[in-house]
Chain A
Amino acid sequence: MADLERHDYDVVVIGAGGAGLRAAIEAHERGARTAVVCKSLLGKAHTVMAEGGIAAAMGNVYPEDNWRVHFRDTMRGGKMLNHWRMAQLHAQEAPARVRELEDWGALFDRTPDGLISQRDFGGHRYARLAHVGDRTGLELIRTLQQRTVALGIDVFMECTVTRLLTADDGAISGAFAYRRDSGQFLAFRAPAVVLATGGIGKSYTVTSNSWEYTGDGHSLALAAGASLINMEFLQFHPTGMVWPPSVRGILVTESVRGDGGVLKNAAGNRFMFDYIPDYFRKETAETEEEADRWYTDKKNNRRPPELLPRDEVARAINSEVKADRGSPHGGVFLDIASRRDADYVQKRLPSMYHQFKELAEVDITAEAMEVGPTCHYVMGGVEVHPETAAASVTGLFAAGEVAGGMHGSNRLGGNSLSDLLVFGRRAGTAAAGHAASAPAAALSETALAEAETAALAPFGRQGGENPYTVQHDLQEAMNSLVGIIRTAAEVEQALERIAELKVRVQALTVAGGRHYNPGWHLALDLPHMLRVSECVARAALERQESRGGHTREDFPGPREEWGQLNVLCTLFGDGIGLHRKPLPGMPPELAEIFEESG
């Protein structure tokens, strides 16, 4: 193939978010020739949107905090379905990963002693989120980006990987991609590939996620022979914007609640007091007075119920709206205006202030916001080895949102950014180590030709399906049938729709040429979206209980036997195969932590 651009590396990192960049930095520092490939421009990945902070038990604000408490909070937030070893490594290593960012130029907000300041977030017992106002993700990605540039790591911007390439023995040999601007194809030969492609939320109508979140990494991993874990668990963030319609789903950071904002229904009641689950009753305030005291005196008071883990709050809002106690545009009210003075709000939440002002013409220092649940994060992802982030395919690694296991059935706020750093670094180390011992195999020319033919197929068809319409139909199906609250009948219906959409995807047609053609790009993303949506639906049907980010109306409440099981998805011909896998056992010294505190 003459017009194919070819590159040779030791490690190719797919994704330039926090996980990808951290992995690349580490691989480079360990001597691997490293490249980063990403769909957008450098610095625009989803990580840039993260607001609240990075969870790390540094103990700068509460010296009582330590990794064990963080570990406990993470496991309880995930309803004990997390891989214990991942949660442990995460809690232990996060503080060092955050401090290291300062060596690369990051400027976090400070405590009076000059240390990194930490803020409160749902599900975390102590104020633990290192932050910069409400633009922490920007600080994180910019710091890593600047470090990447300073080290001279090669970055392929606006390149989309469409296939992973494997050798005869099934091990990774490289990746196939196209340049979004020119349509030029590229082949990377590399013995180690790190997936850091983020999430899948674009398959939903109401989402905080961008066009990039089409689940490419999940789907590429499946196609290469890896398995996905926990795909039924999607996090619906309780507070997304609901009005005007064009901004529906855009995130309203949890820091609004961490900094004093409360949820109210149409009658003005703080309804969260009616939704405190038994599981969290002991650590949650029972009266508004106690909840309000907590902001200033955390030792002697319990947390306000607004700061329960996200799944609880999202379900509560959903119920209020269903019971007709919602706000005019189908959400509930999030009020910080009546509780904190305008200066405080502007200082602590500048970008939220800006966002509501610009997009909804609402002044959050004077009025309440209208909010409702929005699809935000996928807990499920590539099943990886906790220490090395290695997938079951030799030479394939995964870190960040695309990896599964760390967050169990529900992720705590702030635990993603720390996850990116901890496991991004681990993936970089392991990938560089693997590359040093395993030379890359030659790329199969037939496989490359096949990849190219598949990528160009939509140009060859005439009068078929419009990719934008197919995407829209998929989003509708997932949003209405595999949303926050699920039933077997609806999920089955979704699977039928997905089956129809799979057929329609075979007939996608695109107009125009190969130069920066979004219609074509979408046509190539759609098969990934469908494959991943199918995983979500099938796993959701399989798990007959409600837990974390998976709520079955027909099976309310958690069930003992499901608390010991993960659902795994693998590719099975053209469809998705499922199997159940028992959770790894937790060693007694960790299990103790949960007994200590009940």
Chain B
Amino acid sequence: MSYEANLRVWRGDADGGELQDFTVTVNEGEVVLDILHRLQATQTPDLAVRWNCKAGKCGSCSAEVNGRPRLMCLTRMGTFEPDESITITPLRAFPVVRDLVTDVSYNYDKAREMPPFVPPERDADGNHRMQQIDVERSQEFRKCIECFLCQDVCHVVRDHEDNKPAFAGPRYLMRLAELDMHPLDGVDRRRLAQDHFGLGMCNITKCCSEVCPEGIKITDNALIPMKERVVDRKYVPPTWLGNAIRRRRQ
């Protein structure tokens, strides 16, 4: 059942690099990450790859396979033709550290900017009471494994480095939606979502939803509802107009 696959792997660092060709054995049921491990063990011991769980749970092994952002541990070799050459590159929206490893600190910086959750007092018996139907929306977003594939594919920053300071990316805009829908949270982050985190830059073209390995409906369930919530807060015509005029006058 084994065969030899042709792999083109990007190797290099911030100063430069290139796609290099390799021939590696593939066995039944293996995923791209297995093949890279075989490459490490037999041909390129210093090939830099980030991974942890190898079960699609931690979101470490993000890279681009044939140009598509993917988790390498969930990309089965069986989805390619045996004679097809498979191109593996690091995420192209972030600075590269080495080989397939990128510097994802952009994401952690955005996480630090998030105004934290603020709970109410607990009930007298020490519990918080929440109904299942009230937690379900935010629970969907909390499935996020922070693989940052959505952050990588989003053209707002992928194609525009200069937007990075003003745009938090789908993962963190979704976090704002999660908190806004959280039954206990006591902070209004709607203005902030638009003015500080750049929700208005998202043009709802849905690439984030397309790549999410958790199948989270990021655009439909988080970003668009959040845009609607921002409209409630900022763009109801009379107040909007009033604010705009006031701003003009000042």
Contact = CB atoms under 8 A, between A and B. Distances in A.
Interface in B67-112: 74, 76, 97-99, 101, 103-104, 108, 111-112
B52 A102 contact: no
A468 B41 contact: yes
A181 B119 contact: no
B36 to A, nearest CB: 10
B40 A519 contact: yes
Contacts of A149: 111-112, 114, 116
Given A139-B142, A149-B112, A49 B58 contact: yes
B46 A510 contact: yes
B129 A115 contact: yes
B57 A138 contact: yes
Contact of A99 (B27, B52, B126): B126
A446 interface: no
Question: Which of B30, B112, B117, B129 has the most C-beta atoms of chain A within 10 angstroms of its own C-beta?
Answer: B117
Interface string A105-138: 1011110111110000000000000001101001
B29 interface: yes
A472 interface: yes
B201 interface: no
A40 B127 contact: no
B130 interface: yes
A360 B78 CA distance: 11
A359 interface: yes
B223 interface: no
A520 B46 contact: yes
A102 B132 contact: no
B97 A181 contact: yes
A385 interface: no
A150 interface: yes
Interface stretch (A220-228, A241-249, A291-299, A301-309): A241-249
Interface string B18-30: 0000000001111
B117 A210 contact: no
B224 interface: no
A107 B138 contact: yes
Nearest to B55: A250
Nearest to B179: A105
A452 interface: no
B117 A181 contact: no
Interface stretch (A22-30, A350-358, A425-433, A527-535): A350-358
Contacts of B204: none
Contacts of B29: 243-247, 359-360
Given A210-B54, A212-B52, A519-B45, A107 B139 contact: yes
Contacts of A212: 52
A358 B56 contact: yes
A466 interface: yes
A517 interface: yes
A486 interface: no
Nearest to B96: A516
Contact of A43 (B51, B119, B128, B146): B146
Contacts of A40: 52, 58, 60
A157 B57 CA distance: 19
Nearest to A40: B52
A245 B28 contact: yes
Question: Which of A133, A149, A520 has the most C-beta atoms of chain B within 10 angstroms of its own C-beta?
Answer: A149
Contacts of B34: 246
Nearest to A113: B129
A146 interface: yes
A354 B98 contact: no
B112 A358 contact: no
Contact of A516 (B51, B74, B101, B179): B101
B210 interface: no
Interface in B174-212: 179, 182, 184-185
A95 to B, nearest CB: 9
A42 B108 contact: yes
A110 B131 contact: yes
Nearest to A138: B145
Contacts of B55: 49, 247, 250-251, 355, 359
Given A99-B127, A246-B34, A469 B41 contact: yes
Nearest to A181: B97
A512 interface: yes
B171 to A, nearest CB: 12
B214 to A, nearest CB: 8
A517 B98 CA distance: 9
A103 B119 contact: yes
A246 B53 contact: no
Contacts of B241: none
B117 A48 contact: no
B54 A250 contact: yes
A142 B142 contact: yes
A41 B105 CA distance: 10
B48 interface: yes
A104 interface: yes
A191 interface: no
Nearest to B58: A44
A102 B179 CA distance: 13
Contacts of B156: none
B142 A48 contact: no
Interface string A209-240: 01110000000000000000000000000000
A25 to B, nearest CB: 13
A138 B143 contact: yes
B222 interface: no
A249 to B, nearest CB: 9
A511 interface: yes
A518 interface: yes
B157 interface: no
A381 to B, nearest CB: 21
Contact of A512 (B45, B114, B145): B45
B53 A48 contact: yes
Question: Which of A112, A142, A157, A518 has the most C-beta atoms of chain B within 10 angstroms of its own C-beta?
Answer: A518
A439 B56 CA distance: 44
Contacts of B108: 41-42, 157
B153 interface: no
B130 to A, nearest CB: 5
Contacts of A244: 27-30
A467 interface: yes
A339 interface: no
Interface of A: 40-44, 46, 48-49, 99, 102-105, 107-110, 112-116, 132-133, 135, 138-139, 142, 146-147, 149-150, 157, 181, 210-212, 243-247, 250-251, 351, 354-355, 358-360, 466-469, 472, 510-513, 515-520
13 contacts: A41-B104, A43-B59, A103-B119, A113-B129, A132-B139, A132-B142, A146-B114, A157-B108, A210-B52, A244-B30, A247-B29, A468-B40, A512-B45
Given A105-B116, A146-B116, 19 more contacts: A40-B60, A41-B60, A41-B108, A43-B146, A49-B53, A105-B119, A105-B179, A110-B132, A114-B129, A115-B129, A138-B143, A139-B142, A243-B29, A244-B30, A245-B28, A246-B31, A250-B54, A354-B56, A519-B40
10 A-B pairs with least C-beta separation: A244-B29, A512-B46, A519-B45, A114-B129, A150-B116, A105-B117, A468-B41, A516-B48, A516-B98, A110-B132
